[in-house]
Structure 1
């Protein structure tokens, strides 16, 4: 397993974070929610497989993570060559996590793992930007995903960029691991996962 993991990591290391190469200062990610049981909690990288991590709520209990764990340090990678459509909504870039191994360190970008039978997507860190999601932090340091196409009308229309904050805390299952994780709901509907609780995600520099 160690050989396979090292091979995987180094195969993608050269391409990781290639376009967005301006790294921010380190920060934690905090949960903001009307649910007082999770408001103020932080996010931590949780093992989901070979060089794959999800975003667990640091103080949650689950079958895979029974104890509270420290908040993880993240970075935000942007680029001087990529246009920012709306400064108040935030510059586009990759949310990144530094995976440390016995003989390697590699910066991983967050992407969304989509289950075609669910409207709840799981944010995961992979050692390649092939599946990376472009995200932003607005002027209040809240994490969002932007788009300029609106398909809630017929025909769909395009125009100004809008920021979406469809983050939830949900009990999720992936590759044998059950955690309480940050999740993203696809579209305007409510999450079909009954455990999901609405949250926002705030950047707090350390």
Structure 2
């Protein structure tokens, strides 16, 4: 059975009452890029609002965070869906990070913030886990993070095929609620990002 991204997110939500999530060992996320300015940077959850965190690059300058910023620790959560995932591109699940407050700990799952004027999307962790907005990601056999889909709309009429992994990650200087960071970003479709600061990157999982 094939599920589009919104459908998969809803399926993950619906499955919470029926099955448990399998949580991975903790890991860091590392930038891999031909651009030496960002290559080797780790990702860190950076304050971007009340309990909201973006994924900023550790060694990039900013007036809103210390430089360098300590790398954050993440985990990956999947379910036993009964479907056999593609071992090469990986099984889709969701990426989580735990917010530690003075007297609380809150687990958050990755979501996307869309600007209607841009094709550059900002990945964010919002407080708690809203399974209706979670963004499914996967890690392939090389531990590179991807997003999968099976719909092909670059032909007329649109068609579908096997699940395909996309790696449309970029490092971009972004603005959100008054915070400007060099952040991990995602681009919509095949077009180049309209943000002129964006450089192409991959995101690699490194267990700690």
- Which 5+ residue runs of structure 1 have no aligned equivalent? 1-14
Are the counterparts in 2 of residues 20 and 94 from structure 1 also a CA contact under 8 Å? Answer: no
Q: Deviations over 1:127-175 (max 9, x none)?
A: 2223210000001000000000011111111110000000000000001
Aligned structure 1 segments of 4 or more residues deviating by more than 6 angstroms? none
State the superposition RMSD in angstroms.
1.6
5 Å-filtered alignment, 1:1-206, equals 18=16, 21-81=21-81, 83-126=83-126, 127-129=128-130, 130-206=132-208
Work out the CA distance in 1 between the residues paired with 2:63 and 2:123: 19
Structure 2 counterpart SS, 1:49: coil
Evaluate the alpha carbon distance shift between residue 100 and residue 23 of structure 1 in structure 2; reply closer, same or farther with a 3 A threshold: same
Please state how far the C-alpha of 1:82 moved relative to its aligned partner. 5.8
Q: TM-score, normalised by structure 1?
A: 0.88
Work out the CA distance in 1 between the residues paired with 2:92 and 2:150: 13
Evaluate the alpha carbon distance shift between residue 24 and residue 55 of structure 1 in structure 2; reply closer, same or farther with a 3 A threshold: same
Work out the CA distance in 2 between the residues paired with 1:20 and 1:189: 38
Work out the CA distance in 2 between the residues paired with 1:33 and 1:139: 18
Work out the CA distance in 1 between the residues paired with 2:88 and 2:121: 26
